[in-house]
Chains A and B, each alone.
Chain A
Amino acid sequence: MRNLAEKWSPAPDWRTATLQTPGLVIRSLTGFTQYLVSGDLAAWSRRTDMDAAAVGALSVAQGERYALRVARDRILAVSETPFGIEPGWRASGFAVSTFDAGLHMIEIEGPDMSSLFARATTLDPAGETASAALLFAGANVLCYRHGHADRLRLHVDRALAPYLWKWLEQAIVA
């Protein structure tokens, strides 16, 4: 029987995975709390004091706790520390699902970030859009800037993270 494991390169050690060029640093981020919030986002905002509008693709999120717009009635709340809210349905009209294990986070930082973004997507690197969800190198990701204009963060389905990492490895040397 063929050993199919030889066909695929092993997934990187996400705790230490880093790629570096003179104009870019790409890191894997771990340890974040991610909640998917669906339904009445205004009710969620009142409950948590977080902005219901949330950030879209290429908007700049600030701080250690922020929200990304996924769809008209759905956001992804992200925090470096646990939220003080239990997952589940709320009678005020929204549902909270723990999503830490669902999405892997990758951070791309440096002056060459815009040209890498232009290779991966068809979106105008200078523009903004309501939803953070887009196709990045063919994978469905949530994409936004964090802290400043040259730092991009991606949330990708965990099963696609090794593929996206491989794509980034090849894109930065090509």
Chain B
Amino acid sequence: MQIFTCPFCGPRDESEFHFGGEAGNTRPDGADVPAERWARYLYMRANPKGATSEVWVHMTCGEFFIMERDSVGHKVAASHPLGGAEKSE
């Protein structure tokens, strides 16, 4: 079991959270987006070894947030709300 920190609720059990993808993978917009850009958005991931920034959702309160963690050691460095200034170390 691991404890994650929801920026709104605080520390909670990992079973209350769901992975939402790598942070920064924004959906392309517009009619003339090339196929390569769509492919990069849909299929290509950086999958870094070590420090990573990911979108997670706290299922019980519905908070979407960014979690910075280490993909090797699983240590969570910080979590902060999407688009917000609040930060929970």
Contacts and interface: CB of A to CB of B under 8 A. Distances in A.
B10 A134 contact: no
Given A135-B15, A135-B60, 11 more contacts: A57-B9, A70-B61, A71-B8, A71-B62, A72-B8, A122-B12, A122-B15, A129-B9, A134-B12, A134-B16, A135-B16
A131 B15 contact: no
Interface residues of B, number: 17
A137 interface: no
A130 B6 CA distance: 10
Contact of B8 (A122, A130, A134): A130
A70 B10 CA distance: 14
A133 interface: yes
A106 to B, nearest CB: 17
A123 B62 CA distance: 18
A55 B8 CA distance: 13
B1 interface: yes
A123 B9 CA distance: 11
A30 interface: no
B60 A140 contact: yes
Size band of the A side of the interface?
10 to 19
B10 to A, nearest CB: 5
A129 B60 contact: no
20 contacts: A57-B9, A70-B61, A71-B8, A71-B61, A72-B8, A121-B13, A122-B3, A122-B13, A123-B12, A123-B13, A129-B12, A130-B8, A131-B6, A131-B8, A131-B61, A133-B9, A135-B13, A135-B16, A140-B59, A140-B60
Contact of A72 (B3, B11, B61): B61
A72 B65 CA distance: 12
Interface string B24-45: 0000000000000000000000
A57 B6 CA distance: 14
A130 B15 CA distance: 18
